[in-house]
A and B are shown apart, each in its own frame.
Chain A
Amino acid sequence: MNVGSICTRRVITAHPRLDVQTAAELMRQEHVGFLVVVPEESPGPQPPLGVMTDRDITIAVVAKRADPAALRVGDVMSVQPVLVGEGDAIDVALRTMRRAGIRRVPVVNGRGEVVGVLSLDDLLDFIAREMESLSGAIRNGRQIEGVTRT
């Protein structure tokens, strides 16, 4: 199992010149709280420049009474984002996220282009499924022994 098999493939991107007001509307429309910032407006594979969350907007723009229509995504985003590779093992990604203390990271392919987002929720889902397999194996073992060793 690697990052590519559990991450979310749907990535909503924004470019650094987009104003924060429009970015907030984008988060509303797309039902996401995490934008991956890429160099160009055009779609297609691109390397991530930074990330911006809904919380960044609340804390760095609204709470400071800054004008969201005047500020750009490039002013608010976190630069040099922590990344994980789609081929990385899950425990490697976990260690990376743990070290950085972040819940969501862009996933990149071998060329360094964004192909997904890995979140704590994806990881929890994965671990919950493994736990379920574990307790399922115990249950089945008991059942099979009940049938075969009469």
Chain B
Amino acid sequence: MLLKDICTPDVVSCAADRTALHAARLMREHHVGDVIVVEDAESDPSPIGVVTDRDIVVEVLGKELDPARVTLREVMRTPVVIASTCEDLAQAVDRMKFQGVRRIPVVDENSRLVGVFSLDDLLKRLAVEAASIADIVAREQDRERRMRR
């Protein structure tokens, strides 16, 4: 399973010179908990950092800074842990585990941001797989009942 088949293409990105206030508005508007920071949305859309809703509370308000003045460059978490579309799922999950991150931006072969992969995506997938395994058990009993009368 490659990341391009499982990652979420709806990703909210924002240029590094925009403010924390702008990022908070994006989070509110798009119902997401994080924004991927890029150098420039048009000319250089490769991820350089991540800012979460928690970062805005802890790194901005928690330090008594003004969200309308602080730029994302100042509060974003770097270096960003990224994954590539053609990477195997297990490889990416290993790296997330090692780095202790819940979400990673996914980039194409030109380092352009194309999606995000989160532990929530992984969890949904694992749940489907576990349900399939349980279903095999149920079907096997059913099959034996029919075949061995």
Contact = CB atoms under 8 A, between A and B. Distances in A.
Interface of A: 20-21, 24-25, 27-28, 33, 54-55, 57-59, 62-65, 68, 124, 131
A59 B57 contact: no
Contacts of B67: 62
B82 interface: no
Interface of B: 20-21, 24-25, 27-28, 33, 53-54, 56-58, 60-64, 67-68, 123, 130
B27 A124 contact: no
A68 B61 contact: yes
> What secondary structure prevails in chain A residues at the interface with B?
helix
A126 to B, nearest CB: 14
Given A21-B61, A59-B27, A62-B61, A54 B123 contact: no
B123 A24 contact: no
A25 to B, nearest CB: 5
Given A24-B58, A62-B57, A64-B28, 16 more contacts: A21-B61, A25-B62, A25-B64, A27-B57, A27-B58, A28-B58, A33-B54, A54-B53, A54-B58, A55-B53, A58-B57, A62-B20, A62-B21, A62-B24, A63-B25, A63-B27
B62 A62 contact: no
A68 B58 CA distance: 13
Given A55-B53, A62-B20, A24 B61 contact: yes
Given A65-B21, A65-B68, A124-B123, A59 B62 contact: no
Nearest to A64: B28
A84 to B, nearest CB: 20
